Chain A
Amino acid sequence: MSTPSAATTSRWRALTHHHLFWPVAVLVALLLVNVPFTPDFFSIKMTDGHLYGSLVSIVLFGSPLILVAVGMTLVIATGGIDLSVGAVVAITGALTCSYISDQADQNALSGVFLAMGIGLVAAVVCGLWNGFLVARMGIQPIIATLIIMVAGRGVAQLITDGQIITINSEPYKLIGGGYWLTLPFSIFVVAVVVAVTVALTRRTALGLLVESVGGNAEASRLVGIRSRRIKIMVYVFCALCAGIAGLMISSNTSAADGNNAGLWIELDAILAVVIGGTSLLGGRFSIGGTVIGALVIQTLTTTIYTIGVPTQTNLVFKAVVVIIVCLLQSPKFRAKVFGAKFGPKSGAASGGSAATEPAKTVTTAEAAPKMEVS
């Protein structure tokens, strides 16, 4: 940058104004923080026929969060929010594991598939219920989904009878804790779900419809978009994603824990969506950003474990990092601290669709009060 030519400057600008620039920068920074504490942090080696290393662990343990956050992204894009995902995770895991534990042969494929089917159907039912309350009954999403958030965990405990159900099923272990082609199997599940979501929302008009419903549901309805149907659809999709995450979490430890499975995952998921640059006001979303956001949160958790933060200060450490990330995401804050270089206005010159996007990015602090108004 000593002799910045016009071309490199504009390229740099386009880069810093890409909507994924700040989430990726934070992710890279967090990964680098680990290096002094774990010298071979980036090394990946073969162990027992599968890849093993910190990066693999981050993706493996982060998979459920990515799934939940992707579903949450679409709900938030319609201007809604889904607080029930944690409970759906617990219900799905509880139903599936209790069905498998009742089988004579826990390794039978048919039984495992049926069990997963039962679990996912339950998840879809939860999604339909949320969608029905929000789209048909006009109840505010935060209230509508609060019902299953609170009641659902009770249902999960009812299913497991308050116990931790331990199962011993090799096929079921694959989905959340097993390996395929040397990689954690959950990576493939996540890849498929993300690819399908991106294809459906960006290759068809579906994404546009979701955004238009989030932008203005009434106007969308008047131009002929079935906005209620779209809303129900996103809640069902979100619950389905949470259901798959529930399978992964219970499969990872081969146990269903009605009380703790997916506890607070809804908040982490919302955070991941926000870090990824999706506006909580609805109207636009970024699946890629959400995936990065979820990885940031999982890396942060791993970082806390590896750098030896005293347990009492875990949450403070997490809070500080999240505040910094949210501030970095705010164009106003950047303009004030770094000057006009990273601010919202200078980006107009570089043109392109990416440049306008950071301007719409909002932090949680800004978005929360507005949400109540709408």
Chain B
Amino acid sequence: MLNRRNFLTAAVGVAAAAGLSACAKEDEGGSGGSSGGGSKKITLGFSQVGSESGWRSANTDSVKSAAKEAGFNLKFSDAQQKQENQISAIRSFIAQKVDVIAFSPVKVTGWDAVLQEAKAAKIPVVLTDRSVETKDESLFVTLVGSDFTDEGRRAAKILEKVLEKAGHKGKVKIAQLEGTTGSAPAIERAKGFKEVMEAEHKDDWKIVVTQTGDFTRAGGKQVMAAFLQSNPDIDVLYAHNDDMAIGAIQAIEAAGKKPGKDILIVSVDGVKDGFIAMSEGKINAIVECNPLLGPQLMEVVQTVKDGGSVERWIKTKESDFMQDQAKDALPTRKY
């Protein structure tokens, strides 16, 4: 049925399409990548989680531009939120003998095997933005990123201010939109928030519903629409990122309520669209989680490559924003 010529045309088609996908997934950042003679040029293999939110895109841009500025050869790979993609990306970095591997782990656990391989190949590993859980501390050099547990605590603290400002007295019913199940920011932002809540507001605050919105707008919208049905008397929404909060705002509006007034909203990240929503009065407070860690990462990569020692955890610089600061802060938001 299938003659040779037809098969060949089909094969070429398949190859072309596969090539296209490869281009889209593994575009080489940095300067050209093919500067053959540059033996001193540091090659950095970076595996990104995906591009699930505006925050993540800003993070990617920051890493790419910082690598270019530092004159590193960056091999960038997008894991599309899948751990198996990330593991195979790290394996290919090992095979390509890059100088340093950096990655933002999709999940907290399950990295021991592949990191052992990197260690055996004597390639230092730097984690960015998210941490991993492992018994062997020597598997990675350092973590460049935010303290998510602290972000959770800060969210609870700023909620106190928001409630005071809104004149809310008595019991507080909280709905929580969690990030991707099993991811470090989702676990730790929930943990930090709960810590403060149980220590200081044991009697009056209560999380009545909590569910994952996968850090996406569509997820936040759908989950919030269901929350509003099962618990119409929610006072506060705590969203683990701005995008879910933006989705939830649309659901709250569809239910005929006023986001920021009928339901107070606190979210984490501080992306541009989040600040726009806050300046419109729809989000009450944002706890910043700074994605622009590219320059800090490149510094660390250089130090590690030169054999210097670095701290185990290099924290990014961050601050909190209330509604009245939104308009002033908005023009400075790059992402």
Output the least CB separation between B245 and chain A (Å): 12
B209 within 8 A of A: yes
Which residue of the partner chain, among B21, B227, B246, contacts A305 with CB atoms under 8 Å? B227
Q: Given the known A-B contacts A137-B6, A177-B250, A253-B218, are A305 and B226 also in contact in the complex, defined by CB atoms under 8 Å?
A: yes
Complex CA distance for A368 and B9, rounded to whole angstroms: 29
Output the least CB separation between B243 and chain A (Å): 7
**Neighbouring B residues of A164 by C-beta, 8 Å:** 51, 53-54, 57, 217, 243, 273
Complex CA distance for A308 and B9, rounded to whole angstroms: 53
Minimal Cβ-Cβ distance residue in A for B214: A260
Contact A154 B227 (CB under 8 A): no
Q: Given the known A-B contacts A133-B13, A164-B243, are A38 and B181 also in contact in the complex, defined by CB atoms under 8 Å?
A: no
Contact B6 A151 (CB under 8 A): no
Q: Given the known A-B contacts A157-B51, A166-B273, are A252 and B218 also in contact in the complex, defined by CB atoms under 8 Å?
A: yes
B223 within 8 A of A: yes
Q: List 5 A-B contacts (CB under 8 A).
A: A155-B24, A164-B57, A166-B273, A253-B217, A311-B178
Complex CA distance for A40 and B233, rounded to whole angstroms: 13
B25 within 8 A of A: yes
B329 within 8 A of A: no
Contact A137 B51 (CB under 8 A): no
A52 within 8 A of B: yes
Complex CA distance for A137 and B223, rounded to whole angstroms: 43
B229 within 8 A of A: yes
Minimal Cβ-Cβ distance residue in A for B9: A137
Q: Given the known A-B contacts A139-B10, A154-B25, A260-B218, are A305 and B211 also in contact in the complex, defined by CB atoms under 8 Å?
A: yes
Q: Which of A53-61, A283-291, A328-336 contacts the other chain?
A: A53-61
A32 within 8 A of B: no
Q: Number of contacting residues on B, CB 8 A?
A: 52
Contact A311 B80 (CB under 8 A): no
Contact B211 A311 (CB under 8 A): yes
Which residue of the partner chain, among B181, B227, B256, contacts A52 with CB atoms under 8 Å? B256
Contact A138 B217 (CB under 8 A): no
A372 within 8 A of B: no
CB contacts under 8 Å to B, within A138-152, are 138-139, 147-148, 150-151
Complex CA distance for A274 and B209, rounded to whole angstroms: 32
Contact B255 A52 (CB under 8 A): yes
Contact A151 B20 (CB under 8 A): yes
Question: Interface digits, B221-253 against A, CB 8 Å rule (1 contact, 0 not)?
Answer: 111011101100000000000010011001000
Contact A153 B250 (CB under 8 A): no
Complex CA distance for A254 and B247, rounded to whole angstroms: 10
Contact A311 B17 (CB under 8 A): no
Question: Interface digits, A237-257 against B, CB 8 Å rule (1 contact, 0 not)?
Answer: 000000000000100111101
B295 within 8 A of A: no
A302 within 8 A of B: yes
Minimal Cβ-Cβ distance residue in B for A159: B24
Which residue of the partner chain, among A162, A177, A257, A308, contacts B60 with CB atoms under 8 Å? A162
Contact B21 A41 (CB under 8 A): no
Contact A38 B229 (CB under 8 A): yes
Which residue of the partner chain, among A154, A254, A305, contacts B20 with CB atoms under 8 Å? A154
Complex CA distance for A61 and B224, rounded to whole angstroms: 12
B95 within 8 A of A: no
Contact B181 A311 (CB under 8 A): yes
Output the least CB separation between A299 and chain B (Å): 11
Complex CA distance for A260 and B14, rounded to whole angstroms: 24
Complex CA distance for A61 and B223, rounded to whole angstroms: 11
A261 within 8 A of B: yes
Contact A252 B21 (CB under 8 A): no
CB contacts under 8 Å to A, within B1-29, are 1-2, 6-7, 9-10, 13-14, 17-18, 20-21, 23-25
**Neighbouring B residues of A163 by C-beta, 8 Å:** 51, 54, 57
Minimal Cβ-Cβ distance residue in B for A254: B250
**Neighbouring A residues of B221 by C-beta, 8 Å:** 252-253
In this complex, the member of A37, A133, A136, A154 whose beta carbon has the largest number of chain B beta carbons within 10 angstroms is A154
